[in-house]
C-alpha cells in the first residue's frame, strides 16, 4: 500500500505496525476539509494493506486533535450541500473504524476534542497522559454531537455520565477518563511511547486471526447500536449547521468570547 497521496496525515510503517499521525501541529491538528477527506479514507486503505497488522493513531506536536477547524466549519454554515458532504464523511469515518479488524491504539497527548475525541474513543485501546484533555463540545457551538460522540460515550461510560459531558460540552482529563472507563489507561508522559510500542508489538506477534476476529465479534454489537444512531445524529448535526445559534457559537469561540445563544 502506497500512502504517498496523504498530505495531512503522516503514515509510517515498521514490522507490520502502521503509525498514522495527524500532522497539522501549527493549529493543534485541527481538522479542515483536506484532513477530513484523508481521515475518511485512511482506515479503508489500512484494511487492504496486507503488510499492516496493528495501527497506532496519534497527533504531531504534543497534540492529538483540537477538533474541527472552526474557520472551515464556519465557512460551511447554512450551505446544506457542503454540510451534508461533511456528514457523509463523518459516517464513513465511524464505519470504517468499526469495520477495520486490525487493532487500533490511540496514543493521546494534549487535546482530543470534538471529532478528535471521537477518533480516539473509536480506537480499541486509548492510552493518554493524565493531563490529556477529552471533550465533545459540540453543544458549546450550537451543534449536535453527530460525528461519533452520541454513539461512543454512552457505550463506554453509561448514559448518565455521557449526558453529563455531551449536554454540557465539559472536558475531562486523562486521569479521570481512565478512572471512569472512558479510556484504557492514563500513562505518565515519559512512559507513554514505550507502553504503546510494547502493546503494538505484542499484538503484532500474537495470533493475528484470533485477535482480528475477536475484535470483529466485539464490534458486532457496537455496530448495531452505532447504525441506529449515526444517521439520526448526523442529520440533526446537519440541521443545527443551519441555525443562528451555531453561527453565534463559532464566531464567539473564534473571538475568544462567551456565546450568547438565541434559541434560533
Contact 134, 153 (CB under 8 A): no
pLDDT 10s digits, 126-180: 999 999 999 999 999 999 999 999 999 999 999 999 999 999 999 999 999 999 9
pLDDT 10s digits, 104-115: 999 999 999 999
pLDDT-based confidence at 1, cuts 50/70/90? Answer: confident
Q: What is the mean pLDDT of residues 218-225?
A: 95
Distance between CA atoms of residues 91 and 183, nearest Å: 22
Given a cut of 90, is residue 249 above it in pLDDT?
yes
Domain 9-191, CATH number (from 1.20.1440.230, 3.30.930.10, 3.70.10.10, 3.90.226.10): 3.90.226.10
Averaged pLDDT of the chain: 97
pLDDT-based confidence at 72, cuts 50/70/90? Answer: very high
Given a cut of 90, is residue 22 above it in pLDDT?
yes
For the chain, domain boundaries: 9-191
Burial 207-244 (b: 16+ CB within 10 A, else e): ebeebbeebeeebeeebeebeebbeebbebbbebbebe
Given a cut of 90, is residue 239 above it in pLDDT?
yes
Q: Extract long-range pairs of 46-49: CB within 8 Å, 24+ residues apart.
A: 46/1, 46/18, 46/20, 46/100, 46/102, 47/96, 47/99, 47/100, 47/101, 47/102, 48/1, 49/1, 49/18
Amino acid at each position: 500500500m502506497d500512502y504517498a497521496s496523504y498530505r495531512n496525515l503522516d503514515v509510517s510503517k515498521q514490522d507490520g505496525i502502521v503509525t498514522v499521525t495527524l500532522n497539522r501541529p501549527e493549529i493543534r491538528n485541527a481538522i479542515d476539509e483536506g484532513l477530513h477527506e484523508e481521515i475518511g479514507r485512511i482506515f479503508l486503505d489500512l484494511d487492504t494493506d496486507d503488510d499492516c497488522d496493528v495501527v497506532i493513531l496519534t497527533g504531531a506536536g504534543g497534540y492529538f486533535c483540537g477538533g474541527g477547524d472552526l474557520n472551515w466549519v464556519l465557512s460551511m454554515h447554512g450551505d446544506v450541500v457542503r454540510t451534508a458532504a461533511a456528514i457523509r464523511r463523518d459516517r464513513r469515518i465511524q464505519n470504517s473504524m468499526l469495520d477495520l479488524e486490525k487493532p487500533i491504539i490511540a496514543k493521546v497527548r494534549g487535546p482530543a476534542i470534538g471529532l478528535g475525541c471521537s477518533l480516539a474513543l473509536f480506537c480499541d485501546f486509548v492510552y493518554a497522559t493524565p493531563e490529556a484533555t477529552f471533550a465533545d463540545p459540540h453543544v458549546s457551538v450550537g451543534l449536535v454531537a453527530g460525528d461519533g460522540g452520541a454513539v461512543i460515550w454512552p457505550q463506554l461510560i453509561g448514559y448518565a455520565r455521557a449526558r453529563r459531558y455531551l449536554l454540557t460540552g465539559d472536558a475531562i482529563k486523562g486521569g479521570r477518563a481512565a478512572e471512569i472507563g472512558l479510556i484504557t489507561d492514563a500513562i505518565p508522559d515519559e512512559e507513554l511511547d514505550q507502553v504503546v510500542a510494547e502493546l503494538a508489538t505484542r499484538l503484532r506477534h500474537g495470533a493475528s486471526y484470533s485477535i482480528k476476529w475477536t475484535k470483529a465479534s466485539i464490534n458486532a454489537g457496537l455496530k448495531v447500536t452505532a447504525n441506529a444512531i449515526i444517521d439520526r445524529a448526523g442529520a440533526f448535526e446537519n440541521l443545527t449547521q443551519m441555525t443562528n445559534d451555531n453561527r453565534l457559537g463559532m464566531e464567539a469561540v473564534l473571538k475568544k468570547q462567551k456565546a450568547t445563544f438565541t434559541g434560533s
